[in-house]
Structures are given as C-alpha cells and as structure tokens.
Amino acid sequence: MSNTLILQSLKEMTDLVVNCPSCNTLVAWVTSNRHRPFCSDRCRILDLGEWAVGKRGLPADAEYYDVKSEKLNEE
C-alpha cells in the first residue's frame, strides 16, 4: 500500500494525522493511540532519551538570555 493510500485511509478515520517526531511515520491523532504523537513506545523512549542527554532542548530567547529570575519579578 502506498503512502498516499495510507494517508488517505488515516484521514478518513480521523481529522488529524501527524508525523512521528522520531521516525516520521504517519500517526493518527486518536485517543486510542497511547503513544501519540509517537508511532510506538520505542520512538517515545528514544525521544525521551534524547532530551535526557541534551540532544534536544528548547531554544533560548536571546532577549532574556542574560536576565536572572530575580529581575523578572521587578517592575
């Protein structure tokens, strides 16, 4: 079955289809998928491991990079 047919079938079953963040497999965003947005427990664990070792992170905001938490509360 081609990817186009798979995508078409998934869209018929649900309104939202996303790509797995780890392997780009198409994933239907349904409550029965306990791993969403991942396609499997394996991809979920691999992603968690990447966060744990620092391969993934949230981008820093250059405007606030040097601001200390005490200064955030000042007016």
The pLDDT tens digits of the residues spanning 10-31 come to 555 557 889 999 999 999 888 8
pTM: predicted TM-score of the whole model, two decimal places:
0.58
Asked if residue 37 has a cis previous peptide bond (ω within 30° of 0), the answer is: yes
The pLDDT tens digits of the residues spanning 19-64 come to 999 999 999 888 888 998 999 999 999 999 999 998 988 877 767 6
Domains in the chain, start-ordered, CATH in brackets?
3-56 (3.30.50.10)
